[in-house]
Structure 1
Amino acid sequence: MTTTTPQAPALTTDTAINFWPAQALAPMEDKWQSLRCRFITSNPVGPWDDFILSEWELEACAWEDFHPHTETNYVLEGELHIESGGKTVILKPGDSARVNPGRKGRYWAPVYARMITIYGPNPEGLESHSFRYSEL
């Protein structure tokens, strides 16, 4: 998947502090204007042993993908629906939910949702796949 979002520098442990300057939320693809994101701490490419933090928002749209790592979403604004493995949860501000590794997750916001997301470690660098976007 190609992204137009500027990428955050890689996470390194050879310095005392890692710093990532603020970036604006941007559409993941030009054709997906209602799905905006930014990686806060690191770009999820290749293997990583720590967590990766991102912010994203959905505006009357849905997103589906498969991750080899955990994905935990914490809702800041709006209402987020998540379905995985036949189970659906509805999150409001302050709620969080995790899609466990090796599962496909479907995320949608009937109106709007803004989230902080944490990807768990992916030490083997396995790629996410099965991307699907739709507008509601």
Structure 2
Amino acid sequence: MTTSSPTPPAEPATAPIDFWPAQPLAAMRKDWPNNRGRFIIPNHPHGWHDYALSEWELQASAWEDFHPHDETNFVVEGELHIEAGGTTVVLRAGDTATVRGGRTGRYWAPDYARMVAIYGPNPEGLGSHSFKYWDL
């Protein structure tokens, strides 16, 4: 009778913990100084099956864009106004709203708002577009 030692389990395809260190918020572009943000869990240009996570803020400014995926914003501080598809909501600290994929969302903070944004799945990697920024 031949005995063999147990086969060790295969290593997982990914590490047990993914870690993204804190980064300062930075202007999205030089000509959009009051729209600052950073990706916490980045999106991928070729698509993603779970979610992407970012932190961003508006200071007396507005932002508009089109996403093929859902975008949920949780307001950490301040007041954020969102309009999509003819519906407008006003969010304050602790409030959350989702603009469904396939729509243009308009976001503005008359004074200041800081948010955590969650992007829903985008497995095909379809691009966002129609970016507009303006100061209030």
Do they superpose with TM above 0.5? Answer: yes
Runs of 4+ that moved beyond 3 A: none
- Asked whether the 8 Å contact 2:76–2:93 carries over to 1, the reply is yes
- 1:53 paired to 2:53: yes
Structure 1 partner of 2:125: 125
TM-score by length of 2: 0.89
Q: Which runs of 5 or more structure 1 residues have no equivalent in the other structure?
A: 1-12
Same amino acid, percent of matched pairs: 64
Match of 1:3 in 2: none
Q: How many residues align?
A: 124
Structure 2: how far apart are the matches of 1:124 and 1:78? 34
The residue correspondences of 1:1-136 to structure 2 (distance < 5 A) are 14-136=14-136
Q: Counterparts of 1:58 and 1:45 in 2: how far apart (Å)?
A: 25
Instruction: Give the drift of 1:56.
Output: 0.2
TM-score (norm. length: structure 1): 0.89
Separation in structure 1 between the aligned mates of residue 43 and residue 32 of structure 2, nearest angstrom: 19
Structure label with greater radius of gyration? 2
SS in 2 for 1:18: coil
> Residues 53 and 116 of structure 2 are in contact (CA less than 8 Å); yes or no, is this contact kept in structure 1?
yes
Measured on the aligned residues, the alpha-carbon RMSD in Å equals: 0.9
